[in-house]
Structures are given as structure tokens and as C-alpha cells.
Structure 1
Amino acid sequence: MASRCIVLLVAVLLSSLLVVSSSASSSPCTFPAIFNFGDSNSDTGGMAAAFATVSEPNGETFFGEPAGRYCDGRLVIDFIAQTVGLPFLSAYLDSVGTNFSHGANFATAGSTIRRQNTTFFQTGYSPFSLDAQSWQFAQFKSRSQLAYKKGVSYKDQLPPEEYFSQALYTFDIGQNDLTSGYVSNMTTEEVKQTIPDILNKFTDVIKSVYGLGGRYFWIHNTGPFGCLPYVLDRYPLRAPEVDSVGCGAPFNEVAQLFNAELNETVAQLREAFPRAVFTYVDVYTVKYSLISHAEKNGKTHQC
């Protein structure tokens, strides 16, 4: 279920956006920590720690070996961390060599916003849906602060309490909710009808994270999953349904509808929580542009 994001140029653009989004403030763009929620687009080792190790050729371009990412190099979340001067995020589920002092990554490959009524072994969708990730975050916060109060020896590996209100909260999830509809044999129209409920569940999690201190939210929309090879291979289309780039128009239409409603959802969150900062990032346009102008943009790594 893992999506494949075109990382190299996307990362440069998103890192630039991260700097621009804070330009209105007189203070520099600095965050002491990042807490990430998502799917394979930002999984830095969660699924590998929970189930099977990610195998080669993943990791070969940058790390020289598999590094928990379903990618041959770095993910966008890696570039974001680098841009704000932080180390790469450790997966919350990874118990070996973890340092959470600068944040934690709750993303796992195959994750969805809504819970799936299937097992990982049946469909490949992660059991760690977005609400489960938010529960992990809540437990991480409470247990880390308890460790501080007890003065345990490993407290320097955990973030202090003030970091939770100063941190950047990144979300890159939703694509698998859309593809799961097709896996369940829904029609395109039926998949579209699930979008309001998906976004209601997303809003519930944002409210929960806000209640736990989150104030700076960085939200990616979903990419053009109609361009993904596994989608085109699994769901053959009629010739009129394939666009000039070779992507599945019905699938991308669903992604665009989801993104339009997500954008509206973010606008509503801004009104509901005026003390928070919400940045909506248009990943779809960047990815589709790179795909449709592949020769002009040169070689990019598929991740």
C-alpha cells in the first residue's frame, strides 16, 4: 500500500516552503522538535520495527543500506528535519538506538486515517491508523514527562515539557484511505462519498493533538495516486480514462476532491483554533508537475 513519492525536488520545494511559511514572523524558523504522523511517505522505521525489516534496494542511494524507509534515499520528513537543524526522526516503535529528545515519528507504511476492518496480512494496510498514532503520541508525552519527574537516567533522550508546545507537528496521510476503497471494490463515486468521514476523523486527531499542546501544524495534501504504477497495474482503465501523462484520471480526480475538502478542513481549523498555525502544503501539484515534465526535470529518485 506504500505510495511512491518523488522525493528529490519535492523535498527542496517543501523545505523552502517551511522557511517561507514562517517569514511573516520576526523570529527565525526554529523548532526544538518535530512530531510526525503519516504513512509510507514519512515512515522512518515504524513498520520495519513492528513487522518485517525493509529490504534492499531501499536505502541504497543515501544510507548505503536499508534504513527503515520505503525509499532508496531520504524522505521529505528527513529534509524538513534537516532544514530546521534537527537530526532525522526516530520511529516511535523502534526500541533500538532511539533518541526522542528532538521529537518522534509515529508514521507507519500503509497507515490510514480511518481504521481498516482488515489485517495487515490480508491487505497490507497498517494497524496503526491515525487515531492509534495519536494515542501513541499521548502516551509518549505523559510517559516522557513522568520520566523527567522521576529523574531517570535516560531523560536526556526525551523532550522536555516545553517542547510539546513549541514543536512542529507534521501530517502526511490520507492516500491509503482512498486506495483502500478501491481494494474494497468500491466505485469511484463510492470512494468520493467516504471523504467527509475521513476528514472528520482527521479533524478529531488534530483536536486531540491541539489539546495535548500542539500549536504548529504542517499538513500535506495527497499526491496523484492515479500515477502510481501499482494502482495502474491493479485497476486497468479504458483509454479515455488515461490522461496525456499516462495517469489514471478517475483516481486523480478523487485525490483532487480529497485535497479540496482537506484545504477547506484546514481553513475551518484555523477559525476554530486561532492560537495555532496551520500550513497546508500542496504536494499534489508538485508531484504531478514532476511526473508530467520528467524529461525537463531530469532524473529523480522514486520514493
Structure 2
Amino acid sequence: MSLTLHNGSTFFQHSTNRYYDGRLVIDFVAEALSLPYLPPFRRLKGKSSDHGVNFAVAGSTAIYTKFFVKNNIRVGFPFQSIQNQIIWFNKFLEKQGCKGPLSSSPQCKALLEDALIWVGELGANDYAYACMVKSSVSDDTVRKLAISSAIASMQVALLQKVMKYVVVPGLPPTGCLPLALSMGTNNDKDDIGCVKSVNDQSSTHNAVCQAKLQHLMKQFPAATIAYLDYWNA
């Protein structure tokens, strides 16, 4: 007889409703800053959290969900986009008395002035879903839409609210992930044994993302926008 434990049982000693059993990057960030782990937004249920909130959704995309529906990219389970997370983010701000794109209320200033916004990897799931169903949608299209959707969302939801500290990670070598390795071919390997075409895809994505972020840095000079280089880490 075998017993399947809920994800979270190994480290947290309780179910976390995550895809993973251990900690995520944001958990290590919280530890490094001597903060409690960030509660998921959907678990707040009207409560406040003065040390931060996690709006992330496992498997979410940078491109809006309707794009995948329109192109018949279905992977057997529902997923959400960054748009949903931005909606939750704005709802959270409104409950804290911070309304409007350029609110300067005392509540808003106190909440946002020194806040650190940690954005998840932009686009990894978008590429993966298109690949899983062998979609005819090109990598260039996914890259353009993923980055433009995410950057636009950040600009409106974060930077126009006078956020000062934003961290945006690039993609890691996604050709080394189990999904890519399971779908790759023997003649599509790079010098470290990973899927070359997928790693090339991520490398190009990172270059475009950094160029877009440079533009945002010029547009919002008062903000500190940091690119987190997972690729070369």
C-alpha cells in the first residue's frame, strides 16, 4: 500500500495547493528578506497582509487566455493569464484604500512607496503550451505577444502607480526542463545535452525582454527596474 502526500508535506508540513512539494523562488526571496512566506491572494479572504501577497497562479501565461482559445491551444486543464493576476492585484490595492492609476492618497503611498514587486518568468508557459499541442503559431508570435502583454500590464498596473522597485526575471535554459527533453529529438541537442531549439528560443526571448525593459527604464526613470538573469545564473 502506498500513500501519496499532498504537495507541501515535505517542507511546509501541510498542503500548499501548489504543483511543487518544496519552496519556490519567492519563498527564498522572503527568507532572504527575513519576511514570513507570502500568503496567496485567494486565501486572504478579507484579511490584510502587511508583509506581502502572492498573486501567482501555477501554469499561468503572459498572453491573454482568449489567444489560446482562438488558436485552439488546449492542454487539458484550465489556465489563467497575467491579466487575472493584475485584476487581483488591483482588487487588493482598492481594499487598502489605493484606487486609481496615479493615486497619491496617504494609504496608497504607505502601501506602495517601498514595495518590491517580483514578477514571475514571462512566457515560459506560453511557449510550452503551443509546443505541447504542436500549434502552427510561431515562436516569434508567442514571443511578441507574451512580452508585449506582460510589459503593457506592468506599465499600467505597476509603474503608473508609481511603484519604485520591480524585479523581472528572464527565462532559464528551458530546453533543459523535463517537458522539453521528453519532446526533443536526439539531433536537436546542445553542448550540455539540452534541447538546442528550445534554449535558443529562450535566449532570444531574454534578449528581446531586456530591450523592452530598457525602454521602460527610460520611460520611468524614478523606478528601479531590475532584470534577473536566470540564464547565466
Aligned residue number for residue 174 of structure 2: 225
Shift of 1:229: 1.3
| CA distance 1:56–1:224, shift in 2 (3 Å) | farther
Displacement of 1:199 after TM fit? Answer: 1.2
Summarize deviations over 1:77-96 as a string: whole Å, max 9, x none: 01111222221111111246
Residue aligning to 1:278: 225
Counterpart Cα distance in 2 of 1:106 and 1:262? 22
User: 1:247: how far off?
Assistant: 1.1
- Asked if structure 2 preserves the Cα contact closer than 8 Å seen for 1:69 and 1:75, the reply is no
Gaps of 5+ in 2: 99-106
Equivalent in the alignment of 1:58: 7
Q: Would you say the 8 A contact 2:124–2:171 is kept in 1?
A: yes
Which residue is 1:250 aligned to? 197
Aligned to 1:267: 214
Alpha-carbon offset, residue 251 of structure 1:
0.7
Counterpart for residue 102 of structure 2? none
Residue-by-residue CA offset, 1:206-225 (whole Å, 9 max, x unaligned): 11111223221011111222
SS at match of 2:205: helix
Q: Indicate how the Cα distance of structure 1 residues 167 and 115 shifts in structure 2: closer, same or farther if over 3 A, else same.
A: same
2:20 to 60, 71, 78: 71
Number of the residue aligned with 2:40: 91
1:180 Cα offset (Å): 2.1
Displacement, 1:109?
0.4
1:196 to 141, 144, 151: 144
Q: Which residue in the other structure is 2:117 paired with?
A: 169
Q: Could you tell me how far apart the structure 2 residues matched to 1:99 and 1:168 are?
A: 17
User: What does 1:95-174 correspond to in 2, within 5 Å?
Assistant: 95=44, 99-116=48-65, 117-118=68-69, 122-124=75-77, 126-127=79-80, 129-145=81-97, 160-161=107-108, 162-173=110-121, 174=123
User: 1:75 deviation in Å?
Assistant: 1.2
**Letter of the aligned partner of 2:90 in structure 1?**
A
Deviations along 1:76-135, one digit per CA (max 9) or x if unpaired, are 1011112222211111112469652222111000101102334998533522x1122112
CA distance in 1, matches of 2:64, 2:228: 24
Q: How many residues align structurally? A: 215
CA pair 197-96 structure 1, distance change in 2 beyond 3 A:
closer
Secondary structure of the 1:169 match is strand
Alignment TM-score, normalising by the size of structure 2: 0.82
Per-residue CA shift, 1:178-220, capped at 9, x if unaligned? Answer: 1122134236x91133312221111111111112232210111
Specify the SS of the correspondent of 1:93: helix
Closer, same or farther: CA 214–81 of 1 in aligned 2, 3 Å: same
Amino acid at match of 1:139: K
Q: Whose RCO is larger (CA < 8 A, sep 6+)?
A: 1
Q: Compute the RMSD of aligned alpha carbons.
A: 2.5
Structure 1 residues 263 and 125 mapped into 2: Cα distance closer, same or farther (>3 Å)?
farther
Question: What letter corresponds to residue 63 of structure 2 in structure 1?
Answer: R
Provide the residue aligned with 1:5 in structure 2.
Answer: none
Structure 1 length-normalised TM = 0.64
SS at match of 1:103: coil
Name structure 1 gaps, 5 residues minimum: 1-54, 147-159, 287-303
Change in 2 beyond 3 A, CA 1:121/1:95 = farther
SS at match of 2:43: coil
CA distance in 2, matches of 1:222, 1:182: 16
Deviation string for 1:151-179 (max 9, x for gaps)? xxxxxxxxx53121210001113210111
